[in-house]
Structure 1
Amino acid sequence: MIPRSSFNAFLEVIKSRRLPWEVSEINAIHSLQLIMRDSFQDTEDSDSKALKFIQQNDTERQGIDELSSVACEMVRLIETATIPIFGVDSAGLINGWNVKIAEMIGLQASDAMVKSYSLNQLHSRTF
């Protein structure tokens, strides 16, 4: 099975097993995306001066603390979600895995992360 069709098959299975996302969950994810995008753009613009500026400016320090807090809350939201969620890096390797996906696939997060399963390997374990 080619990767695109295997992913489509995976989506069909998931559609019948998941509940719709709540508005608060979607809003939290969107907010985190915006915060992360702004944070990375600020860092790119100021290059190495960003570290010195953060050390000198309490407002920036508070922003970093807030970003960290939001990121921790997002991790908690993903870990306690009632739907299966997994993250994939740019190389196609799994870098996030919640309890529901572990129940569905039958592979614990520690095993998925350590072995760096690709999506094709995940697909072969599922179907």
Structure 2
Amino acid sequence: MAFDPMSLKYNDAGLIPAIAQDAASGEVLMMAWMNADAVARTLDTGRVTYWSRSRQAFWVKGDTSGHVQHLVDFRVDCDRDCLLVSVNQTGPACHTGRRSCFYTAVRAGEEVELMQPMAPIPPSA
């Protein structure tokens, strides 16, 4: 059965959450939004493409920062309202220069930073 991006369940803004996971380690890197066109572009090009809500434009991960995400696997959850993209990540995934956006833990009621930036913060990750 052929995949149709329109078969997914998008929110009222026409977006679906996409979780990026490192293909080798399984580490969760980030969450961003895709629309149907971003899904299609990701599958067509092999470069992960998101929809930037702040810029109202496509965001091909790494075009400005060099921190590219190459698609390895693309999965749809059971409710068809969330995506998991397995990627080969070049450099940090987070716009703060950290490997993952999930660098803050809450332990014993306190926030704890689990990792430091691995690169300077790029102008527009």
Q: Which has the higher helix share?
A: 1
Common fold by TM > 0.5: no
TM-score, normalising length: structure 2: 0.23
Q: Which has the larger radius of gyration?
A: 1
Choose between structure 1 and 2 for higher RCO, CA contacts under 8 A separated by at least 6 residues: 2
TM-score, normalising length: structure 1: 0.23
